[in-house]
Chains A and B, each alone.
Chain A
Amino acid sequence: MSGHGAIVSLRGLRKSYGVGTPVEVEVLHGIDFDLAEGEFCALIGPSGSGKSTLLNLIGLLERPTSGELSIAGEATRGLGEQALTRLRGRHIGFVFQFHHLLPAFTALENVMMPSIIERGVATAEAEATARELLARVGLKGHENKKANQISGGQQQRVAIARALSLAPRLILADEPTGNLDTQTADDIFALLREFNRERGSACLIVTHDPRLAARCDRQIELVDGRVARDGR
């Protein structure tokens, strides 16, 4: 399997913590897989299996101890902090478990933030995109509410709109429905699926919920830092 045409390509990816100390521990023991453009994939596994670590590595928030990691065909080994930040901003959208909106900003501003970071200022275009995205996630009329003045489900919708605001080729979601009730969780999941189909953004979703995992095109199961199963 070559990394060609893949949005994410992992080869022998390892991650250890506490390198060089007596408590050094390897969390990922060589991970190999590719994620194709537009693929909708669940990352499952028990707690402590390394799912979140893997997601952080792919999201370029952490660096692997060894192995190859390419994003959108660009090898990340040896890239500096600035280059990684640029790559992350350009191709990757995050949806965290606890939504992680900026409380000092309104819903609209939160959705515009990736664009503001990218361009330096808020453009009219970014505002139009953000309003459209908020309408799509069902939050029309909530644009000017502060992030901490809306419900958990609404916050997660804002977070999804935000992840999509720069039309990234890859969305990384770390238990996006983890703290939501079943109905809301289903809605959020459906929303991700919809955007995946519509815009072709690949999604890698960490989840504990086998019901949701089953609804993905592909399931990668991690056990003890290794890929135990990779099936469609």
Chain B
Amino acid sequence: MSRPRLPFEFLVALRFLREGRMQTALILLGVTGGVAVIVFLSQLISQLQASIIDRVLGSQAHVVMRPLEEANLRAMPEAGSIALVEPRAQRLRSIDQWEAMVKLAEVQPRVVAVSPVVSGPAFALRGRASKSVALLGVDPDRYRRIVKMDTYMTRGTFQVEGSNAIIGVELAKDLGVTVGDKMYLRAAGGRDELLQITGLFDIGNKDLNRRWVFTTMKLAQSLLDLPGGVSNIDITVADIFDAQDVSDRLQAGSGLTVESWMTTNSQLLAALRNQTVSNNLIRSFVIVIVALGISSVLVVSVVQKQKEIGILRAMGTSSNRVMGIFLLQGGLVGFVGALVGVALAWGLLVFFSTVYRSGDGAPLFQPQLDAGIALSAAGIALVVGVLAALIPARRAAKMDPVQAIRS
């Protein structure tokens, strides 16, 4: 064995840790467990949230522009008279000057795609079967950037022209039709049309698979009696959490009713936020517990190492360097614990990705480790380790060398 190569503080810190095997193992275990819990939880929750949001937004536009609701306008009531005003029934209407509104939306920053949609209620008829559906007249090239229909197609392509229609797999089953068959579509106004089914889709949502019927905009306009009009404009934004912002600006600019997915799914969003809050709470508790663990074990170690500290002091070690030795022990334990903890978290993620499955048997999340989460957990562990060592280290530094040697 040749001479030790490490700098003094590292050398002594490592030897002290090695000497107190049991204690070192205990704090390492604590830090490892803490880091693993934090990384695992954060990763799990962020991935589950991403997956939930993905599912919700998989069939929904980030922002939707609609015409303003119609309201009753009244002349000033005569003095002394009472008027009972009933809210007006909302008919299907077109957005005024929708081409201009589409342009307005397209020039907004952070807007990625804009698609005008003609939508309204209708019945799909075949033989004696009659199903209530939502008719969606779209320009497929624009609409596939709002909802990724291409990925949902089970038969045919997402392309409509003439009197073609694309329907969901559930509706196809209900009507007993498939690609190449025909079905009647009757709109609420009584107009009907014979449609040729050219594609089937499966969005992963039975309700939508049963209700959505895609045709050309022109066909939908004529069926729904909206000549040249569109009922809503769907918008995709670059970052989904910018949706509310974009929506507010569009509302101010257009005077239309504009809603973001964040408004229509406010409950979901609130639930996700609460989940994040409780995750942060758990994280904080774990950090505090781990810090207390490191601190208390090191305090004991300082007491046990009194004599050694005294000897080091007598040989010319300043109290600051003694403090450094103990801070280093905290940092080393934090660092090593973080490395092992991240590895353990990865193992847990792999394991739980095979346990947590959604209804259709697909894994709810893919095991993946976000470098940011792993690095920040490791950083926190290092800092917590050093901070937790602060009290024991100060105690060691303040120790009177004479007392320490005599003890």
Contacts and interface: CB of A to CB of B under 8 A. Distances in A.
Interface string A48-66: 0000000010010110000
Given A96-B405, A104-B18, A117 B312 contact: yes
Interface string B1-24: 111111110010001101100000
A182 interface: no
Contact of A118 (B313, B316, B405): B316
B108 interface: no
Contact of A122 (B5, B16, B310, B320): B5
Interface in B1-60: 1-8, 11, 15-16, 18-19
A96 B18 CA distance: 26
Contacts of A88: 314, 316
Interface residues of B, number: 30
A25 B315 CA distance: 29
Per DSSP, are chain B's interface residues mostly helix, strand or loop, or mixed? Answer: helix
A105 interface: yes
Given A86-B316, A88-B316, A108-B3, A102 B8 contact: no
Given A103-B19, A104-B16, A89 B308 contact: no
B182 interface: no
B318 interface: yes
Interface in B292-337: 307-308, 310-321
Interface string B387-401: 000000000000001
Interface residues of A, number: 37
Nearest to B316: A89
A148 to B, nearest CB: 11
B15 A62 contact: no
A144 B311 contact: no
B314 to A, nearest CB: 5
B402 interface: yes
B7 A117 contact: no
Contacts of A221: none
A161 interface: no
A134 to B, nearest CB: 13
B401 A104 contact: no
Interface string B164-198: 00000000000000000000000000000000000
B15 A105 contact: yes
A104 B19 contact: yes
A90 B316 contact: yes
B318 A82 contact: yes
B3 A112 contact: yes
B310 to A, nearest CB: 8
- Most chain-A CB neighbours within 10 Å: which of B18, B311, B313, B319? B311
The 10 closest A-B pairs by CB, nearest first: A89-B316, A104-B15, A122-B3, A127-B3, A104-B19, A85-B318, A100-B311, A144-B1, A114-B315, A61-B402
Interface of B: 1-8, 11, 15-16, 18-19, 307-308, 310-321, 401-402, 405
Given A127-B3, A162-B315, 9 more contacts: A56-B402, A86-B316, A100-B310, A102-B308, A104-B15, A113-B315, A114-B316, A118-B316, A126-B3
30 contacts: A61-B313, A61-B314, A81-B318, A82-B318, A82-B320, A85-B318, A85-B319, A96-B405, A100-B311, A100-B314, A101-B311, A102-B308, A103-B19, A103-B308, A104-B18, A104-B19, A104-B308, A105-B15, A109-B4, A112-B3, A114-B316, A116-B11, A117-B312, A117-B317, A121-B8, A122-B3, A122-B5, A123-B3, A124-B3, A127-B3
